[in-house]
């Protein structure tokens, strides 16, 4: 019994959207701001603020201005203090909303965790019932139909269908069996049929579900190298502006225009990159969240970031680039046989063939020749000959008639044993199909006399729709694609050309994959690959982004730094796009943050010194009413822009495959220019309202 499902890229996207909807993540709603407010208030704790140098300076400035608002109250001082606190609160809100988006998914996962009683096997083969939390690595447990698997592990005995909907959101059951690459099972999933023995591979509290809950809640998220580097840069800029503001007071005193601590604090907060400082953490959390929405568990933020910088993708041919099962695509008669003769013989030989290839032959003949897709009553009484590794043929014996289909050499021998011979035309057709990357199946029959070759069935590895276009997009992004296959070089070359990949590795063995990864990495490239078997583990560990299939072995999942719950190898392309979107979003908002400081200079600096240097009035291009309204308007805008950018930080900047130069040009045009223009407009509009406040205007 086999349970499989094939999806087109569009259906796959719909499936991911359904999963995202299932847990309530994905789409930003203003209601999330309100529900996340308690979490944002808790983050006002100075211990939490210390983790973000930029926002800690704002927090300290808020506390300082609050002291002045209490000891020497004025409308201006009180409003500045309030809006500085709002700035800190809104920064916390961005992080709280990002973390809150994972709460629903974490709750859904917690519901899948069930306290189970495990049937553990003892050394003498008997069973003992123990709580699931008491299981240890290496324990063997028995799970039968209707029972919940008590912990993560590998099936070491038996085969069963398993319901993984609580983890993956996919309602269709899956097959798990011992001795293959589909042996891994997840604690909390349910066995639907048969009996299996599972070897536990994780400790209690460290299961796959436990790790995923910690991930989606943000508890285990580590800052990535680029994020750390940007944090250091922002901290450095903050120190520079702090020194500049401190040095400004002696100059102001000398000029006879000494500034208050409140004004200097407002200036400092507006000068330092508060916007990106407030949103940086939210951007990282949201990037992880976008992966989780697509049922991918990343064990580190470094892997997500590395995905954005990947320059080489290693893709397995079977199941990734092609559908995995060769399909019948053409019937080629030889000798005196006609298309109809070959169709009837091929249908008979395939009626009992339960393989995907056999079913595809019957479907092709039913579709193109109108013959029944099911055996009639007489055909059901026939003797079916199944395919075996020894005979390399399958077929049917009905009455005195025998029909066979199979490998060329096997059918040639069968024909010769029955007094026939294989025409030279057959050999030419077989060679042509092989050179074009297909698989030839020769069909022959005998009706009590000499055996006769009817023709050849072409089996083709069908490339998934849209793959060529996706590889073209990757090429535009500067990413090299390499197809890995165990096929011979001729077949590999034909499929590579059809799929549009840049290179291929034929007759690949595990050590060949490892050598290829190391070779690419020596050139300074980051490499990503997928795998599911134990023999893929070394290559997954060596690659910069190793995506293990959830259906694979525990060894593969431990070696990789991402696990795809849907076990869809093509998702590697989506993971790269998500990584690039994360980097682009961070870069875009950093550009915007730095650019919008320019307008604040034009608002605050003239307001501070226009009384001494009248010429600075020319810089008041926004025509702000008074120095106090100008400073207060800049502080208010500085706070509100954080809230306005939260949806963009969580959703991410829309990613379009393009070159680095095009991305930079778009970044500067949209977010650089936008970062300059929007504050001028925003501060001017706020000033129109602020000037109406008594004591300000």
Spell out the alpha helix ranges (H) of 219-338.
225-254, 261-271, 274-293, 301-308
pLDDT tens, residue by residue, 109-124:
565 555 678 888 888 8
Q: What is the pTM of this model?
A: 0.66
What is the predicted pLDDT for the residue at 224? 67
Q: Which helix (H) or strand (E) holds 378?
A: helix 377-380
| 649 has a pLDDT exceeding 60 | yes
What is the predicted pLDDT for the residue at 444? 92
pLDDT tens, residue by residue, 357-376:
888 888 889 888 888 877 77
Contact (Cβ atoms closer than 8 angstroms) between residue 338 and residue 471: no
Residues of the chain with pLDDT > 70: what percent?
A: 84
Question: How far is 565 from 15, CA to CA, in rounded Å?
Answer: 12
pLDDT tens, residue by residue, 507-528:
877 788 888 888 888 877 889 8
What is the predicted pLDDT for the residue at 7? 36
pLDDT tens, residue by residue, 313-355:
888 777 677 776 678 888 999 988 899 989 988 988 888 777 7
Query: What distances in angstroms separate CA 460 from CA 495, 529, 579, one per listed residue?
Result: 9, 25, 34
* Residue 129 annotated as binding site: no
What is the predicted pLDDT for the residue at 57? 93
* Residue 456 DSSP SS3: strand
| 204 has a pLDDT exceeding 80 | no
What is the predicted pLDDT for the residue at 615? 61
What is the predicted pLDDT for the residue at 617? 64
Question: How far is 78 from 68, CA to CA, in rounded Å?
Answer: 8
* Residue 536 annotated as binding site: yes
Contact (Cβ atoms closer than 8 angstroms) between residue 291 and residue 560: no
| 70 has a pLDDT exceeding 90 | yes
What is the predicted pLDDT for the residue at 58? 93
Question: How far is 351 from 347, CA to CA, in rounded Å?
Answer: 6
According to DSSP, the β-strands at 140-144 and 153-163 are unpaired
Question: How far is 41 from 50, CA to CA, in rounded Å?
Answer: 15
* Residue 320 DSSP SS3: coil
* Residue 163 annotated as binding site: no
Q: Which helix (H) or strand (E) holds 658?
A: none
| 245 has a pLDDT exceeding 80 | yes
Q: Which helix (H) or strand (E) holds 197?
A: strand 195-200
* Residue 391 annotated as binding site: yes
* Residue 390 annotated as binding site: yes
Q: What are phi and psi of 141, to 5 degrees?
A: -125, 150
DSSP 670: I
Question: How far is 164 from 55, CA to CA, in rounded Å?
Answer: 43
What is the predicted pLDDT for the residue at 609? 63
Termini Cα distance of the chain: 79
- The alpha carbon torsion through 578, 282, 542, 490 (nearest 10 deg) reads 0
Residues 6+ apart with CB under 8 A from 359: 350, 353
* Residue 188 DSSP SS3: coil
* Residue 353 annotated as binding site: yes
| 17 has a pLDDT exceeding 70 | no
Which residues belong to the active site?
316
| 631 has a pLDDT exceeding 80 | yes
Taking the CB of residue 130, how many other CB atoms lie within 10 A of it?
16
Q: Higher pLDDT residue, 278 or 391? A: 278
pLDDT tens, residue by residue, 145-202:
888 888 888 888 888 888 876 666 555 677 887 766 677 788 778 888 888 898 888 8
Q: Higher pLDDT residue, 599 or 442? A: 442
Q: What are phi and psi of 157, to 5 degrees?
A: -155, 130
Look up tokens 């989606």; give the residue.
Answer: 216
**Closest residue by Cα to residue 406 from 434, 375, 443:** 443
Helices (H) and strands (E) in the chain, counts: 27, 21
Question: How far is 436 from 238, CA to CA, in rounded Å?
Answer: 63
Residues of the chain with pLDDT > 90: what percent?
A: 11
DSSP 138: T
Q: Could you tell me if residue 507 is left (phi over 0), alpha (psi between -120 and 50 degrees) or otherwise beta?
A: left
Q: Higher pLDDT residue, 679 or 507? A: 679
Q: Which helix (H) or strand (E) holds 161?
A: strand 153-163
pLDDT tens, residue by residue, 259-298:
788 988 988 898 888 989 888 888 887 887 788 778 787 7
**Closest residue by Cα to residue 532 from 583, 493, 566, 577:** 566
Question: How far is 567 from 324, CA to CA, in rounded Å?
Answer: 13
| 68 has a pLDDT exceeding 90 | yes
Beta bridge partners of 439: 459
* Residue 602 annotated as binding site: no
Delineate the domains of the chain, giving CATH numbers in brackets.
Answer: 25-101+216-291+577-674 (no CATH), 135-203 (2.70.150.10), 296-321+464-565 (3.40.50.1000), 332-404+415-427+436-458 (3.40.1110.10)
What is the predicted pLDDT for the residue at 145? 86
Question: How far is 227 from 277, CA to CA, in rounded Å?
Answer: 11
| 18 has a pLDDT exceeding 70 | no
* Residue 615 annotated as binding site: no
Question: How far is 682 from 270, CA to CA, in rounded Å?
Answer: 14
* Residue 388 annotated as binding site: yes
What is the predicted pLDDT for the residue at 112? 54
- The alpha carbon torsion through 90, 95, 99, 100 (nearest 10 deg) reads 10
Taking the CB of residue 427, how many other CB atoms lie within 10 A of it?
16
* Residue 393 annotated as binding site: yes
Look up tokens 């207060």; give the residue.
Answer: 632
| 15 has a pLDDT exceeding 70 | no
Question: How does the average pLDDT of the chain come out, rounded?
Answer: 80
What is the 3-class SS of 474-487, one letter each residue? HHHCCCEEEEECCC
What is the predicted pLDDT for the residue at 508? 79
* Residue 231 annotated as binding site: no
Question: How far is 434 from 112, CA to CA, in rounded Å?
Answer: 49
What is the predicted pLDDT for the residue at 22? 34
DSSP for 20-75 reads: HHHHT-SS--THHHHHTHHHHHHTTSHHHHTTSHHHHHHHHHHHHHHHHHHHS--H
pLDDT tens, residue by residue, 415-436:
898 888 888 899 899 888 887 7
Q: Which helix (H) or strand (E) holds 214?
A: helix 208-216
**Closest residue by Cα to residue 281 from 600, 456, 51:** 51
What is the predicted pLDDT for the residue at 479? 85
Q: What are phi and psi of 322, to 5 degrees?
A: -110, 170
**Closest residue by Cα to residue 100 from 282, 325, 278, 304:** 282
Question: How far is 183 from 198, CA to CA, in rounded Å?
Answer: 9
């Amino acid at each position: 019994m086999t349970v499989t499902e094939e999806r087109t890229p569009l259906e796959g996207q719909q499936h991911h959207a359904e999963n995202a909807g299932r847990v309530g993540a994905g789409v930003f709603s203003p209601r999330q701001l309100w529900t996340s407010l308690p979490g944002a208030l808790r983050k006002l704790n100075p211990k939490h603020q210390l983790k973000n140098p930029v926002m800690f300076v704002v927090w300290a400035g808020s506390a300082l201005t609050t002291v002045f608002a209490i000891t020497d109250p004025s409308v201006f001082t009180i409003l500045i203090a309030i809006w500085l606190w709002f700035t800190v609160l809104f920064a916390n809100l961005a992080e709280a909303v990002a973390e809150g988006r994972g709460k629903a998914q974490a709750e859904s996962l917690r519901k899948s965790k069930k306290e189970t009683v495990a049937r553990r096997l003892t050394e003498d083969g008997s069973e003992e019932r123990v709580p699931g939390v008491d299981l240890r690595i290496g324990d063997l447990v028995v799970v039968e139909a209707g029972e919940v698997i008590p912990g993560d592990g590998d099936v070491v005995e038996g085969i069963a269908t398993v319901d993984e909907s609580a983890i993956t959101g996919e309602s269709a059951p899956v097959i798990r069996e011992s001795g293959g690459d589909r042996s891994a099972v997840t604690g909390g999933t349910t066995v639907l049929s048969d009996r299996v023995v599972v070897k536990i591979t994780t400790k209690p509290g460290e299961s796959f579900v436990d790790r995923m809950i910690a991930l989606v809640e943000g508890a285990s998220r580590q800052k990535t190298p680029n994020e750390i580097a940007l944090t250091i840069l922002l901290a450095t800029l903050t120190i520079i502006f702090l020194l500049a503001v401190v040095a400004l007071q002696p100059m102001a005193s000398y000029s006879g225009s000494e500034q208050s601590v409140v004004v200097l604090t407002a200036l400092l907060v507006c000068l330092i990159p508060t916007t990106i400082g407030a949103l940086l953490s939210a951007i990282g959390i949201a990037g992880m969240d976008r992966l989780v929405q697509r049922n991918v568990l990343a064990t580190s933020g470094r892997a997500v970031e590395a995905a954005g910088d990947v320059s080489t993708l290693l893709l397995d041919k079977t199941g990734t680039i092609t559908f995995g099962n060769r399909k019948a695509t053409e019937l080629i008669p030889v000798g005196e046989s006609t298309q109809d003769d070959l169709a009837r013989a091929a249908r008979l030989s395939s009626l009992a063939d339960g393989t995907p290839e056999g079913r595809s032959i019957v479907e092709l003949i039913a579709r193109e020749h109108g013959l029944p897709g099911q055996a009639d009553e007489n055909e059901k009484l026939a003797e079916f000959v199944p395919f075996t590794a020894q005979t390399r043929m399958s077929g049917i014996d009905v009455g005195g008639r025998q029909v066979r289909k199979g490998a060329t050499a096997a059918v040639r021998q069968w024909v010769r044993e029955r007094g026939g011979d294989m025409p030279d035309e057959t050999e030419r057709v077989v060679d042509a199909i092989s050179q074009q990357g297909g698989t030839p199946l020769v069909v022959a029959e005998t009706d009590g006399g000499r055996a006769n070759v009817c023709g050849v069935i072409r089996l083709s590895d069908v490339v998934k729709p849209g793959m060529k276009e996706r590889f073209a997009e990757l090429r535009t992004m500067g990413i090299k694609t390499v197809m890995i296959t165990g096929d011979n070089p001729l077949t590999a070359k034909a499929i590579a050309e059809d799929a549009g990949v840049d290179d291929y590795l034929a007759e690949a063995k595990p050590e060949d994959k490892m050598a290829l990864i190391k070779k690419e990495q020596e050139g300074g490239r980051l490499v990503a690959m997928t795998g599911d078997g134990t023999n893929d583990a070394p290559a997954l560990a060596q690659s910069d982004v190793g995506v293990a299939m959830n259906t694979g072995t525990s060894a593969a999942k431990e070696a990789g730094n991402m696990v795809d719950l849907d076990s869809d190898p093509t998702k590697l392309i989506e993971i790269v796009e998500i990584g690039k979107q994360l980097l682009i979003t961070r870069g875009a908002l950093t550009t915007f943050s730095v650019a919008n400081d320019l307008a604040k200079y034009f608002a605050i600096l003239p307001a501070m010194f226009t009384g001494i240097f009248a010429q600075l009035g020319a810089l008041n291009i926004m025509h702000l009413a008074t120095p106090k309204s100008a400073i207060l308007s800049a502080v208010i805008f500085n706070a509100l822009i954080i809230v306005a950018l939260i949806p963009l930080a969580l959703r991410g900047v829309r990613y379009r495959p393009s070159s680095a130069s095009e991305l930079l040009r778009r970044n500067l045009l949209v977010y650089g220019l936008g970062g300059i223009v929007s504050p001028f407009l925003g501060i001017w509009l706020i000033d129109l309202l602020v000037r109406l406040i008594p004591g300000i205007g």
